[in-house]
Structures are given as C-alpha cells and as structure tokens.
Structure 1
Amino acid sequence: MKWIHKYGASFCLIILLLVFWEIGAELLDLGFILPTPTDVIVKIWGLKEPLFLEHLPATFLIIIVGLSLSIFFGVGMAIWMSVSRTVEKTLYPLIISSQTIPIIALAPIFVLWFGYSIWSKVVVTILITFFPITVNTYDGLKATSKEYKEMLLTMGASKKDIFFKLQIPGCVPYFLSGLKVAVTLSVIGAAIGEWIGAQAGLGYFSRRMMTQFDGAGVFAPIVILSLVGIGLFLIVTLIEKNILKWRKTD
C-alpha cells in the first residue's frame, strides 16, 4: 500500500499518456513515423532474440565499462583536487569546459581514432558520465565540517585519519547522488556512440531500423534503453538506502 500511495499518481499518468499515444497514433495512421505502443511491444516480442541476446549485451557492456572507468577517474580526480589547490585551479575549469563541447560532434572523431571497437563508445560514455561523479564527489569532500576537523585535530588525529574517517564517509551521499545521474547518462552515451558507429548494440539497431523506415523498430530499442536506465537508477537507489540507513527518508 505504501508503494501505491507513493508512486500511484505517476503510474496513472504514464498509463494515461500511453492511452492518448495509442489513440492518437491510430487516428493519424502514420506507423512509420509514430507507431502505437502496442506496435512497439509486438516489435520487441518479435525481435526478442536479436535484441536481448545480441544487441542488449553489447550495449550493457559499454555501459558497465564506461561507468566503471568514470567512477575510477572521477573519484580519483575529485580526491586529487580536494587535496591540492593548484590541481583544483588547473583541472576544475577544464572539467567544466569539457561539458560545453557537444558529444555528438566528438563521437565521429572517436570512431576515426578507435574504429568500430567498443572503445569509441566507451570514451563517449565516459565523457558524459564522469562529470556528475567528479563534481559531486569533490563537493562532498569539500563540504566537510570545519568544526569536526578541528575537533579531530585537537584529539590528535592526522590528516590521513581526517580524510578516511571524516571526509570519505561524509562524501558518500554526494557520490551516490552523482552516480544516480551518471547511470542514466551512461545509457545515453552508449546509444550515441552506437548510433554514430557500431556493429551491434541497441543504438546501432535503432539507426538500422530508421534506414528501413520501420517506426516500431526504431522505438523498440529506445524502450529497452529506457528500461535499462530506470533499472540502473533503481539499483543505485537501493544501494543508497542500504548504505545510508541513518538518513531519514519519506
């Protein structure tokens, strides 16, 4: 009952939008541009083997590799900036500037550099996902209470003790918030990379269906990508609730 009370309104709105979509698409009768939700579901079911056994694993591998490298480099960069003012002044503007360049414009360059291998898509995913992880983790490390630091120093704590026992636990909520944003963006990054140049993957399949003017075929992998993003977000949310049990939630 608690779940229904919390998400019932959103669920009803989604159902209502799908009904309007179904009716509107039927009235317009432009299946190659705007297929009905039932057409998309039928397409997914009819193509379930290539979609789920070939293209979904290829996309999921890009997401996992890209996210893992983003976490590694993002957290490392955040820690480096938090301990060095010079590094912060040098890297922080570059990190901000990296987000002003359209990724869709860089993706073809990565294809030229790395070919149609997985790494051209992984680099696109990293560029999209490392920013929220880096910035949120850095903000968490810098948000440590000065009063707590001074208290630990008076008790004889070293800088190492303060870092591992105060700053790291304090930045975990910030890191997880950034990760929730990153996991959804990772799906977009993987799809963009596959759309530009790939031999397998949901983004590649959507582009291939577009060249065949198959509207339902274009929407089918998009629906799966959306469900993957939602699933990853829920996983991080579940991890957050288990790690941060002390934090009050509604």
Structure 2
Amino acid sequence: MQKRLLNWMLPVAGGLILYLIWILFKVIGGQEDWILPWPGQILAAIGEEFSILMGAAIQTGASALVGFLFSIVVGIGLSVLLASAQWVRTMWYPWVIFFQMVPVIVLAPIFVLWYGQGLPSIVAITFMITFFPIVANTTMGLVSTDKNLIDLFTTLNASTQAEVFMLRVPFALPYFLTGLKISGTLAPIGALVGDFYAGEASGGKGGLGYLVVSYSSQLETAALFATALVACLLGFVFVSGVNYLHWLLLHNWHESAIRRET
C-alpha cells in the first residue's frame, strides 16, 4: 500500500517542482506573456477554447486511429511476407528501410499533391510514420522463432499454416506488441504533423496541427500551450490503449506482462 501511494505521490511531487521552476523562470527572466504565459493563463485558455480544442482533438485522434489501423493491417501482411523466405527479405526489406528514411517533411507536400488537403493526406503521413516499427518488430519475431520448436513441428508433419498460426504468430506476438507500442506513441504525432502540413478547417473546424498554425500566427501563446497539452493527453490515450491490449493478450502467459502485475 505504501509503495503504491509513493508511486502516485512522486510524479505529483515532480509536477509541483516543474511548476515552481516555471514560475521562477517567469519571474526571474521577466518573460512577456506572449513568450511564456503563466500556467493560470494556459488553464484559462483551455476553458475559453475548450470546444474548439476538443473538436480538434477528436479530428486529429480519428486521423491518427485510421492511419494507425492501416499501418497495423499492412504491416502484419508485409511482415508475414518478409518472414516467408530469406530471398524475399533480401529483396524487399532494404526498400522498406529506404522509404522509412525519407523525411516526412519531404513526403507531406507530395501527399498533398496526390490526395489534396484533408483526411487522406493526414492518414498517409500518419501511416508512413507508424508503419516501420510494426514491420521491423513483427518480422523479427516471426524469423526468431525457436528452431527446436520449428524442428518439432516438422517432425510432427505439421502443415505450413499450422506452423505459422500455432507457432510463429504466438512467438512473434510480444515483438508485434512492442512495435505497436512504438507506433501508438507516434500515431498522434504523425496525425498532428499531417494536420500541420495538410490540415484544413472546412466548416470552421480543424485538427490540432491546424490550431498550432492558427494560434502561432495570432501570437496566442497560451492557447498554443493549451493545444500542446491536449496533444499530450491524446498521446496518453493511445499509449494507454496499446498498453491495455498488451496486458490483455499477454498477462496469462508471457513474462513481460506477468512481471508487471507482481
């Protein structure tokens, strides 16, 4: 009980220390409000812009979720293909790495040219950011299956489908979920970057990235910090969802989840 209470109190204490550092920096540095607002001004901005911020968060979250799910489906399919044979990995894996190395700042205008402003471009940008961790980790898991277990399945004359779905997939599941955690962290960032480059405000509404552009151009710094806070909360939602999925799938049998419970 004391350990659990301490685990709650220490982050709170850290937050209070950060708050005091913020106040001291503001007072000693004499920063203008438009450069560094007071924490109370940020909270006030959240209250004033609440409906706009929540609408933008929902729009950005939806874009992040679509791009994230798309990267999962394509990533799993490509991972199975890459793990099917060594020559397939040799032929295609370098190209996967190549496309991952292309900077998003270059791809964003290209996606806008292809798909126009709005959701399709934002989803494409999110997909490019979240795709590689899933492919890399899932492929690693599929090709790292215990050789003794593979030999056992061969001895029992198990079919290829049985080997894949009853052995390789369960063995690769922790690897896949690790990649999912990384991509889940990146998905809101990718959607926000997509909003920044390809967002639009049709009907007077835009995503968080669009709000960043709008507030920064108007020097509404408190609202800009409020947008950053809402983006952080959106990231926590994604990470919490992936962590729960990790626990749900592994807590009965895998050490990584069992140790977390103890």
Q: TM-score, normalised by structure 1?
A: 0.93
- Aligned partner letter, 1:88: R
User: Is 2:57–2:234's contact at 8 Å kept on the other side of the alignment?
Assistant: no
* Displacement of 1:7: 5.3
* Displacement of 1:26: 4.1
Equivalent residue for 1:34? Answer: 36
Query: What does the per-residue CA deviation read over 1:43-86, in whole Å, with 9 as the maximum and x for residues that have no partner?
Result: 1111111111x211210110111001000111111110000323
User: Is 1:22–1:38's contact at 8 Å kept on the other side of the alignment?
Assistant: no
Query: What does the per-residue CA deviation read over 1:212-243, in whole Å, with 9 as the maximum and x for residues that have no partner?
Result: 01111111111111111112111211221121
Equivalent residue of 1:99, what SS?
helix
CA RMSD of aligned residues (A): 1.6
**Quick one: distance in 2 between partners of 1:150 and 1:11?**
52
**Quick one: distance in 1 between partners of 2:66 and 2:99?**
20
Equivalent residue for 2:146? Answer: 145
* Displacement of 1:40: 1.5
* Displacement of 1:35: 2.0
* Displacement of 1:14: 3.0
**Quick one: distance in 2 between partners of 1:108 and 1:30?**
35
Q: How does 1:116-195 map to 2 (within 5 A)?
A: 116-195=117-196
**Quick one: distance in 2 between partners of 1:135 and 1:11?**
36
Inter-CA distance 173–7: structure 2 relative to 1 (3 Å threshold) = farther
Equivalent residue for 2:208? Answer: 202
Q: Which moved more, 1:19-28 or 1:140-149?
A: 19-28
Equivalent residue for 2:81? Answer: 80
* Aligned counterpart for 2:241 among listed residues 231, 235, 241: 235
Q: Which moved more, 1:186-195 or 1:18-27?
A: 18-27
Equivalent residue for 1:106? Answer: 107
* Displacement of 1:181: 0.7
Inter-CA distance 3–202: structure 2 relative to 1 (3 Å threshold) = farther
Residue identity over aligned pairs, in percent, reads: 32
* Displacement of 1:192: 0.8
Query: What are structure 2's unaligned runs of at least 5 residues?
Result: 201-205
Query: What are structure 1's unaligned runs of at least 5 residues?
Result: none
User: Is 1:140–1:174's contact at 8 Å kept on the other side of the alignment?
Assistant: yes
**Quick one: distance in 2 between partners of 1:79 and 1:4?**
44
Inter-CA distance 12–94: structure 2 relative to 1 (3 Å threshold) = farther
Equivalent residue for 1:13? Answer: 14
Inter-CA distance 235–3: structure 2 relative to 1 (3 Å threshold) = farther
* Aligned counterpart for 1:249 among listed residues 213, 235, 259: 259
**Quick one: distance in 2 between partners of 1:90 and 1:38?**
56
User: Is 1:124–1:189's contact at 8 Å kept on the other side of the alignment?
Assistant: yes
Q: Which moved more, 1:125-134 or 1:194-203?
A: 194-203
Equivalent residue of 2:32, what SS?
coil
Q: TM-score, normalised by structure 2?
A: 0.89
